[in-house]
């Protein structure tokens, strides 16, 4: 990506990087910078357990029925 593209489409460029894309910025065809997403902070085990405790109960029989209804069994 050129510096001009970065200047003219900065918001779109940041959106792409935020989605996980790594972009190299060039000046006169030469790489001068790299835009990379900032790593997300780690989630602690306590937070994961708290989230798990609040998940809805799943009825496996009903889930199978819904999956079977949604997917063509010929596949």
* Banded model confidence at residue 74, pLDDT cuts 50, 70, 90: confident
Predicted local distance difference test score (pLDDT) of residue 73: 74
pLDDT digits (tens, 9 = 90+) for 18-50: 999 999 999 999 999 999 999 989 999 999 999
**Boundaries of every domain in the chain:** 3-70
Q: Are 23 and 1 in contact (CB under 8 A)?
A: yes
b/e map 20-53, b = 16+ CB within 10 Å: eeebeebeeeeeeeeeeeeeeeeeeeeeeeeeee
DSSP 8-state code for residue 68: H
Find all residues with CB under 8 Å of 36, minimum gap 6, and list them: 17, 22
């Amino acid at each position: 990506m050129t510096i001009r593209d970065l200047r003219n489409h900065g918001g779109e460029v940041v959106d792409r990087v935020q989605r996980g894309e790594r972009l190299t910025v060039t000046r006169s065809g030469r790489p001068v910078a790299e835009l990379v997403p900032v790593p997300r902070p780690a989630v602690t085990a306590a937070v994961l357990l708290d989230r798990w405790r609040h998940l809805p109960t799943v009825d496996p029989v009903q889930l199978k029925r819904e999956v079977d209804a949604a997917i063509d069994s010929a596949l």
